[in-house]
Structure 1
Amino acid sequence: MDNCTYAVVDLETTGHSPAKGDRIIQIAIVFIENETIIKKYARFVNPEREIPVFIQQLTAITDEEVKNAPRFEEIATSISEMLQGAVFVAHNTDFDLSFLQSEFKRCGVPQFIGKKVDTVELSKILFPTSHSYRLQDLSDELGIALPAAHRADDDAEATAHLLLAALKKLRTLPEETLNLLHRRSFSLRSDLSGLIYDALKEVRKKSIGVNRLPLFRGIPYRQPNWEETAEGRAVSYPIETEEKIALLKKAFLAYEHREAQLSFMDTVFQSLTKSKEVVAEVPTGVGKTIGYLLPAALHALQTGKPVIISTFTNHLVDRIMNDELEKVRKMIGYRVNGTVLKGREQYISLGKFEELLQITDESFDETFTIMQILVWLTETKTGDVNELNVSGGGQLFIDRIRKGSNYLKDDERIVDYHLKMQEISIHSHIIITNHSMLLSDLNREKRVFRSFSGIILDEAHQFIHTAARANETVFSYTTWKYVMGQISSDTEGQLLYKILQLHERFCGNSRYIAHRLSSSFDRFSKQFDRIATVLTTHKHSSANGKSGNRIVFSLSEVEEERRTFSLLSEALSEHITNAHSISDDLAIHLNQMSEKEKAFVAEWNYWIRELTIKAGEWVEIFLDNDNENFTVYIEQDKRSLPGSLTVVKSPVDTSILLKDFMEHIREESVGVIWTSGTMKIEQDERFVVRQLGIDDEVPLLTFDAPKHFYSQSTIFIVEDMPSIQQVSQNDYIEAVADAVVQTVIATGGRLFVLFTSQDMLRKTYELIMESELLDDYALIAQGVSSGSRLKLLKSFRQFEKSVLFGTNSFWEGVDVPGETLSAVIIVRLPFSSPEDVVFKAQADRLTKLGKNSFTDLALPEAILRLRQGFGRLIRSSEDRGFFIILDRRIETKSYGKRFIDALPNVPVKKLSLQHMVNELEACYNGEELRGKLDGKEQ
């Protein structure tokens, strides 16, 4: 594709379907030759129909702007002529090119014939760690100017610069990487092979040594390294208030003095230096992260030993590493080294990756993911596969190349990222990890976390849930079927077919072994399908005529099937024995095999190990009798059976597990700080502390946010909602939908609506969608709209008029500062369902101990969740927001006051829905009026 012209095209349209009458409203083309922009073309187009309100909001193109523009028929011929002979480039050619071709056909104009380059596809390969491949997000990341997203002229120019950046990136890749990419590029959906080949030719012309990286079995990779640190550097802790403020001002231009933050810093430093344990509640508004990170860094510098910081999610881990630690460096003017440590399964196994490259039968998703990984390996400093942004199908491939064992061949040991990161952490001041990794260290023969000078557990209340999940064993029907499918098909080209071919060639007698393997798999598979049928058709006792698609019941309800569970275990054990016999036969002949043949054997052994692990899990879940410490429950969705079938074995009491963890930590004789925004509740201050297994003598301190922090927030209790316990679910959902619609219209959107039930969320969302009353708003629903929590949150932030419907994971850990979030609606008080199997087991345990399961478990948990929900609303002292509670139990039940008392001291207003809507309208109309007056004054 040397010396060609690229025509970079972007369209704005009234919708996605030209067949249904959607039309172009703006077209822009940017022409590139010799990597230089030579010409631009941009026109508005009259669609001869009204532009939908949503499209006007998205593009800022109005009916007035296109009124006098030419119809597409008038410019179609000239556009077609401009594109002929060029390479068509767009950010999603599936849309732009197909829409344009439809319009050319409608107008009787010759359609485009030629090569196409999709910059989405190209960007996914060359920028494999980007969080998003939207043009706006890529432009921000690469420093490309994009004055107005969703305007064709600006989008086309940004896409042109994105193409140029991608071409430049291609030429920086090693020759070996380009070779491996080019070999796979012919199966891509757009014509990228020419681009890659041009870069390959250019790199080959360069002098030897350019773009060189070390090779692992022919694959270029970047080695992780670290900067040596000065051991025991004398950096004093700022004792006086003025000293602390001076340091903080170095990192925060708009520093706001908060006395509680400085007190918290002192507490952390004293606990670390005196090797004491402390629990600290530090709510939003205090500056918790910097409050512990600065004293931790200073302590590490003084002692020459790292401080461990553990938090709940990998997302928070990365934020501390990439954002907060840099602020600490600015404050103390010294290179504080930080290392992120995660579990081994988070890191790539280069040995496994290289083996899979030997197997040529790749699906499109696998090929694409391999190309992303090849580029990523030239730049990653950690080997953490979570850095990659891959498709759902690609994720299955990623799971196959995760490090699954500590056994390494000699050449793998040199390049193992997991080992390298552990070595680097020894030389760090701050080791940042997640709760799961920290807990799993208990079960390692050789512990990763050793010789440290202190430990800080952020989001400490989540340690309880992490401990529970870490000790769960999960059966997933879909996962089992996937593993079974990898080794069961003897169709030509499949793994079993090739393994039997190898067995025949090197060992002979493969017909007998194939028959034996087929028979044992057939017995195992039939038993598996029978059990799946039993579990998915069981008439469980907890249904009680309730509607909803999610079904959860205890495994004890199918106790009569225990013999059937044993029969499956026996059949699976026999099949694994037969599969291992093939592995044993082939192992003798490995030295006679080619590398590709060895790769097939390694792949076979990998899946047999996976099936062996599954066999152990089966025994633990279905045949173990530890009913006192664990509960086992079955979960499924009626809409997708048997695929949704899941069985979970979960611990009832995690405090025992966490006490074991603390004994391990105390062996180090270091300071321990437990901290979170929600560590206590009124009337039972040590509820969370007890669940964490923390001794009673450990102090629990509170560092309150400044009094003015919540001054712009109000709590509304809607007192004319129907009683949730006296009406049907459908009636309550209708009332919720009405309240949401009226609130959204009054505020202009920017709302979270928080549910405790996915079923109620979906029904409320569907009812609102059917009403069409909020058609001008972007409605985003967890479990309904596609994408992860972070993706849904990004969509919510993107649109000014948006509403997000969320369940459990949106009650906490979501940061939406400023005007992006104006209100939070609480649909129901966040009690655990009394039918929840784990909750029932925990409640039964408390009852046996002579305690009240409601006051000692259900109520405290619900109060904590409500506090966490309130924490979504106000993230800075400039934020203003409304916390709206629709559940009247907060007013009518005796325990309601405990919920209110647990929230910050802000105005609480009990009023009807109409009066609340009137107040909101007055507030937002007043704001709009003030904005107009301010505009006139300027």
Structure 2
Amino acid sequence: MLASMPTPSRASPYDAPALITTRARASVLTPDGEILSLDAGEAAALLATLPPPLLIHGPATIRRLGLTPPGQVVPWFDLLELFLFLFPTRSVVPTPRGMGLALGLTPPEPCEADFLLLILERMRQALDAMRDSREADTLGALLPLLSRAGWAWSGFIESILQINPGQHRHPYEALRVWRRLPRWEEMAQRPPPGSRPVAPAEARLRLSRILGEGAETRPGQADYASAVTQALAPREGAGIPEIVLAEAGTGTGKTLGYIAPASVWAEQNDGPVWISTYTRHLQRQIEQEVSRLYPDESERRNAVVLRKGRENYLCLLNMEDAVNTLASRPAPSFPALIGLAMLARWAEASEDGDLMGGDLPGWFGDIFGAGTLFGMADRRGECIHGACPHYQTCFVEHSIRRARGARLVIANHALVLSQASWSSLGRDDVPDEDQLPTRYFFDEGHHLPEAADSAFSLALSGLEAAELRRWLLGAEGSRSRARGLRRRLEDLVAGSPVLDAPLEAILGAAHGLPAPGWLGRLNGQDDAPQPAVPELITNPSEQFFQALRAQLEARRIGAQGNDSSECGLHPAGEALREATAPLDTALRRLLAPLNTLVERLKALLSEPDDALEAAQRLRIEAMIRSLRRRAIARVEGWIAMLDTVLDLQDEGQSAYIDLIRAEYIPGRPGEQDIGLHRHWRDPTIPFASVMQGPAHGMLITSATLRDQTPARKDDGPDPRQVEQSWHAAEIRLGTPHFIKPPFRASLLSPFDYASQTRALVVTDIPQNDLDALAGAYRLLFLASQGGALGLFTAISRLRAVHQRIAAPLDEAGLPLYAQHVDTMDNATLVDIFRTELHSCLLGTDAMRDGVDVPGQALRLVVFERTPWPRPDILHRERRKALSPDDPRDYDDRLTRMKLRQAFGRLIRKGDDRGVFVILDRRMPSRLLSAFPEGVSIERVSLAEAVRQIGAFLPRFDTGGIPHTGSISGIEADE
């Protein structure tokens, strides 16, 4: 229906009907000026008779109306598209209220369709103000392409800017943003930092200056800043870093508490402090806090740099390929053209080119198609570094060089551990991209074991092996733009024939990796393509993966899960052992020429300085790094894993856990990858090994380093329980693997949990009854009038509950959003939840940890069941290794930490009030020590929980949302 609408490139949005929808209702402002309130079906029928509407977030809007987006441009007037075009890096929440706030308007409650005209008028004024600015030239250059693609807003913008044909540069030139980006320049290497310590008084003084006069007093924040200074003291010996474990209760203000001493040390010693956290979203939260230290934007840009892996940034070479591909087609794909134009507009204004969690809106892919972003970053390790024509405008290279001179670098655990790991190998012949720091602050430190497990694990899977083949051989005839090793090396090989022989040997040996179509053959699809070359029918890697699949099918216990299944490797079956030897031989045939190629590239570097240009030298160094990291290290690890398949020793004596795992592939329903996986039994061993060399000082901090608050006696906390809780935390974090014991600090939360919170365990929800579970969520969310976060331990249950309660909550005026359901990223979902005070949000682990939603926007947290550790092979082996005397206590500790993290989302400010509910009557009392001292914890029925929520939480003028929560209402519902 929507696909048949005429293209309105010259239509006026002022003549369009305005539309705001929920899943249940729609507010429509007709072209005649009449505001209608309709149900979803009536609104969908009306839209078929009207011109294309004015709306916010078109794809989400028509999904809420039960319509399916067509596979072509839909000519609605989406205010999000106009906002992005005018303000490409300004943050906006993709709702009427969020957009109104971003434009300085006061949204009504509730927002009706006529509010969209106020938003449109505010943006028209902004566009009119741009008419004579340099910005107008950029806008005008892109408009011919957008108009040709049928973009709804092009005529509206042209009429305001009064653009004349031929006034601007060639349309496709407007997409070639890489020609207009600033170029970075090399700087002299930074000298090693000093070792001057930071006195506690200095840290306190800096903290007070950051906070300024009249700031909220946070008891313990200054004490915390003082404790952090111990991590900045000079180390006593090589490989003996100063370590601080600092647990700072929610509300302590730990971010500014460690930024203050870190900034003092960085300034006094002319060296960086790397602040590492667990997720990209949390990196941005820390970056926002740092703006209080450096309010001047130019100073902050020089002093603070946010670093991520290369795969997060816009690759200009990939973008050039996409632009050239479109320009060469006689009839370009119009949706792709609009998406590229918007991406070019953003790239020219972006601070750092960060596609994932940066200043590109998280809803971009939903509006312009995920395919627009897919492939725009270097996710396959294909970067050609110095050989790239955009090397000196590259966003990644720019951030690397800024980081070399920065005071504070905000990174993530994965990047920090990767860099430290490569440094620990001692390969000093090739300089790394970064000079390793000496001071590391690990925020969200309770996640370090998980980050270490991910960083130091290894997988020999079909996807991993096929990706290596693609990296070596390129696209092999497909439409992919993947560049193979020959293309990345072609100019070097032409100038150095000694490289040709190992290159040919590598490309030949790469055919032993999974060939195109391997996934269909692995999953037994009848129409799967067969290898074109006869000898590839006996592909050794594909035979190996088939043998892995057979052993998994034979040894799997229980029904096949929705996401993954696994079994132990040992003892390896005969069929698997027979399939191992050919693959081992094939991998060794690949490894030998890879090493030869690296040695010959190194030989080129040893030639006199005048024999190679500086760019060539940098290019060769980068290629050696890529070969080692992307290929050699991986193949060496795979060979070591295959040796384990043939090894009959007792697996309990090994430092590793080897298992076979099958996992469903995202976006490929019904298709599973299969692989042999290796994990460290204790992942903090390699963590300590790689960090003890470069680190002079480390802070590991979190609100939940320990699993519980020790019980208090009349004269204070029980010293024995305090010591036990710290000892367990140190074992989990791996500090016993370092030489010097850590300095411990614990700062309690300043909140009055006894008066600000309630904790309820609901006892009458049947286990595994999805209808009852959904009904409980609905009643609890209605009782709180929204502002509710629902947490789940399984994605399948989250989706099932969302399906059952989304419509009735919308009927009540409580919009429901959900991770793993809505197509926006987590950061955008949290922004919506924070802005829409009566909205509800469902999520899993990522919403449980580190999400900061202060104030009334979050007043209820509901956990669907006790978050026990997942009972998989890794957990089984690790609890035997890390808690051999009491495995149950190991389970309890992990579970209490998850409960503490979830409870910590609830109270973020001194005047917050909130209720924590867990819908699991089987939750044992020994886990209740996870909650802060003073929290009132009761086991109640669902009806009583609803009554208490209604009585405890403040009531709101919700603009028509019913005040629910009476027992009689619940009884009627039941």
Using structure 2 for the length normalisation, give the TM-score. 0.69
- Which residue does 1:239 correspond to in 2? 201
- Which residue does 1:912 correspond to in 2? 941
Query: CA shift at 1:674, angstroms?
Result: 1.7
Query: Is 1:885 paired with 2:918?
Result: yes
Q: 1:6 aligns with which of 12, 16, 26?
A: 12
Q: Residues 261-410 of structure 1: matches in 2 within 5 Å?
A: 261-273=221-233, 276-321=242-287, 323-329=288-294, 337-355=303-321, 357-359=323-325, 360=328, 367-386=337-356, 387=358, 388-389=360-361, 390-391=364-365, 392-400=370-378, 404-405=382-383, 407-409=385-387
Name the % identity: 20
Q: 1:471 aligns with which of 453, 456, 460?
A: 456
Q: Residues 461-500 of structure 1: matches in 2 within 5 Å?
A: 461-474=446-459, 490=477
Q: 1:730 aligns with which of 768, 771, 785?
A: 768
Q: Residues 29-44 of structure 1: matches in 2 within 5 Å?
A: 42-44=33-35
Which deviates more, 134-143 or 546-555?
A: 134-143
Partners of 2:798 and 2:59 lie apart in 1 by 33
Q: For 1:749, give the aligned amino acid.
A: G
Q: For 2:888, give the aligned amino acid.
A: F
Describe the shift of the 1:490–1:258 C-alpha distance in structure 2 as closer, same or farther (beyond 3 A). closer
Question: In 2, are the aligned partners of 1:303 and 1:453 still within 8 Å (CA)?
Answer: no
Question: In 1, are the aligned partners of 2:197 and 2:229 still within 8 Å (CA)?
Answer: no
Question: In 2, are the aligned partners of 1:631 and 1:649 still within 8 Å (CA)?
Answer: yes
Q: 1:749 aligns with which of 781, 786, 800?
A: 786
- Which residue does 1:706 correspond to in 2? 750
Question: In 1, are the aligned partners of 2:900 and 2:930 still within 8 Å (CA)?
Answer: no
Query: CA shift at 1:867, angstroms?
Result: 0.9
Question: In 2, are the aligned partners of 1:473 and 1:620 still within 8 Å (CA)?
Answer: no
- Which residue does 1:903 correspond to in 2? 932
- Which residue does 2:886 correspond to in 1? 852
Query: CA shift at 1:769, angstroms?
Result: 6.5
Q: For 1:691, give the aligned amino acid.
A: R
Unaligned runs of 5+ in 2: 1-6, 68-73, 236-241, 495-507, 516-530, 595-625, 711-723, 962-974
Partners of 1:179 and 1:612 lie apart in 2 by 46
Kindly report the root-mean-square deviation, in angstroms, between the aligned alpha carbons of the 2 structures.
Answer: 5.8
Q: Residues 595-674 of structure 1: matches in 2 within 5 Å?
A: 625=645, 628=654, 629-637=656-664, 640-642=669-671, 648-666=677-695, 669=696, 671-674=697-700
- Which residue does 2:397 correspond to in 1? 419
Partners of 1:186 and 1:577 lie apart in 2 by 53
- Find the residue that maps to 1:753 and give its secondary structure: strand
Partners of 1:411 and 1:644 lie apart in 2 by 36
Which deviates more, 905-914 or 357-366?
A: 357-366
Query: CA shift at 1:155, angstroms?
Result: 0.5
Q: 1:921 aligns with which of 950, 959, 974?
A: 950
Question: In 2, are the aligned partners of 1:11 and 1:24 still within 8 Å (CA)?
Answer: no
- Which residue does 1:36 correspond to in 2? none
Partners of 2:42 and 2:726 lie apart in 1 by 49
Query: CA shift at 1:828, angstroms?
Result: 2.4
Query: CA shift at 1:735, angstroms?
Result: 4.9
- Which residue does 1:787 correspond to in 2? 824
Query: CA shift at 1:721, angstroms?
Result: 5.2
Question: In 2, are the aligned partners of 1:349 and 1:403 still within 8 Å (CA)?
Answer: no
Q: For 1:676, give the aligned amino acid.
A: S
- Which residue does 1:587 correspond to in 2? none
1:24-63 per-residue CA deviation (whole Å, 9 max, x = no partner) reads 74236xxxxxxxxxxxx73334x7xx657999xxxxxxxx
Partners of 2:930 and 2:26 lie apart in 1 by 56
Describe the shift of the 1:908–1:575 C-alpha distance in structure 2 as closer, same or farther (beyond 3 A). closer
Describe the shift of the 1:754–1:259 C-alpha distance in structure 2 as closer, same or farther (beyond 3 A). same
User: How many equivalent pairs are there?
Assistant: 816
Partners of 1:911 and 1:520 lie apart in 2 by 68
Describe the shift of the 1:533–1:786 C-alpha distance in structure 2 as closer, same or farther (beyond 3 A). farther
- Find the residue that maps to 1:256 and give its secondary structure: coil
- Which residue does 1:61 correspond to in 2? none
Which deviates more, 901-910 or 561-570?
A: 561-570
Q: 1:840 aligns with which of 861, 873, 876?
A: 876
Partners of 1:869 and 1:719 lie apart in 2 by 19
Partners of 1:610 and 1:332 lie apart in 2 by 37
Question: In 2, are the aligned partners of 1:170 and 1:196 still within 8 Å (CA)?
Answer: no
Partners of 2:93 and 2:406 lie apart in 1 by 33
Partners of 2:840 and 2:220 lie apart in 1 by 34
- Find the residue that maps to 1:664 and give its secondary structure: coil
- Find the residue that maps to 1:329 and give its secondary structure: coil
Question: In 2, are the aligned partners of 1:874 and 1:880 still within 8 Å (CA)?
Answer: yes
- Which residue does 1:601 correspond to in 2? none
Query: CA shift at 1:692, angstroms?
Result: 2.6
1:782-828 per-residue CA deviation (whole Å, 9 max, x = no partner) reads 33444332233344445544443322222211112112222222332
Q: For 2:906, give the aligned amino acid.
A: L
Question: In 2, are the aligned partners of 1:310 and 1:433 still within 8 Å (CA)?
Answer: yes
- Which residue does 2:614 correspond to in 1? none
Partners of 1:539 and 1:288 lie apart in 2 by 46
Describe the shift of the 1:755–1:547 C-alpha distance in structure 2 as closer, same or farther (beyond 3 A). farther
Partners of 1:448 and 1:843 lie apart in 2 by 38
- Which residue does 2:841 correspond to in 1? 804
1:74-109 per-residue CA deviation (whole Å, 9 max, x = no partner) reads xx9xx98xx9xxxx9765678999999x9xxxxxxx
Partners of 1:4 and 1:189 lie apart in 2 by 9
- Find the residue that maps to 1:882 and give its secondary structure: strand
Partners of 1:22 and 1:928 lie apart in 2 by 19
- Find the residue that maps to 2:949 and give its secondary structure: helix
Q: 2:731 aligns with which of 679, 682, 690?
A: 690
- Which residue does 1:868 correspond to in 2? 901
Partners of 2:202 and 2:794 lie apart in 1 by 50
Partners of 2:145 and 2:449 lie apart in 1 by 49
Question: In 2, are the aligned partners of 1:721 and 1:886 still within 8 Å (CA)?
Answer: yes
Query: CA shift at 1:267, angstroms?
Result: 1.7
- Which residue does 1:716 correspond to in 2? 760
Describe the shift of the 1:325–1:531 C-alpha distance in structure 2 as closer, same or farther (beyond 3 A). same
1:430-464 per-residue CA deviation (whole Å, 9 max, x = no partner) reads 22222222112220453555475633221112222
Question: In 2, are the aligned partners of 1:182 and 1:193 still within 8 Å (CA)?
Answer: no
Question: In 2, are the aligned partners of 1:176 and 1:219 still within 8 Å (CA)?
Answer: no
Describe the shift of the 1:536–1:762 C-alpha distance in structure 2 as closer, same or farther (beyond 3 A). farther
Partners of 2:684 and 2:551 lie apart in 1 by 34
Query: CA shift at 1:467, angstroms?
Result: 1.4
Partners of 1:219 and 1:782 lie apart in 2 by 38
Partners of 1:14 and 1:319 lie apart in 2 by 31
Query: CA shift at 1:677, angstroms?
Result: 0.7
Q: For 2:908, give the aligned amino acid.
A: R
Describe the shift of the 1:566–1:872 C-alpha distance in structure 2 as closer, same or farther (beyond 3 A). farther
1:497-542 per-residue CA deviation (whole Å, 9 max, x = no partner) reads 9x99xx9xx9xxxxxx9xx997349836987777777767877477
The answer to which structure, 1 or 2, has the higher relative contact order (CA under 8 A, 6+ apart) is 2
Which deviates more, 145-154 or 530-539?
A: 530-539
Q: For 1:256, give the aligned amino acid.
A: E
Partners of 2:704 and 2:54 lie apart in 1 by 51
Describe the shift of the 1:816–1:620 C-alpha distance in structure 2 as closer, same or farther (beyond 3 A). farther
Describe the shift of the 1:162–1:632 C-alpha distance in structure 2 as closer, same or farther (beyond 3 A). farther
Query: CA shift at 1:703, angstroms?
Result: 0.8
Query: CA shift at 1:561, angstroms?
Result: 3.3
Describe the shift of the 1:800–1:373 C-alpha distance in structure 2 as closer, same or farther (beyond 3 A). closer
Describe the shift of the 1:43–1:478 C-alpha distance in structure 2 as closer, same or farther (beyond 3 A). farther
Query: Is 1:677 paired with 2:703?
Result: yes
Q: Residues 545-564 of structure 1: matches in 2 within 5 Å?
A: 545-546=558-559, 549-554=562-567, 556=569, 559=573, 560-564=575-579
Query: Is 1:152 paired with 2:103?
Result: no
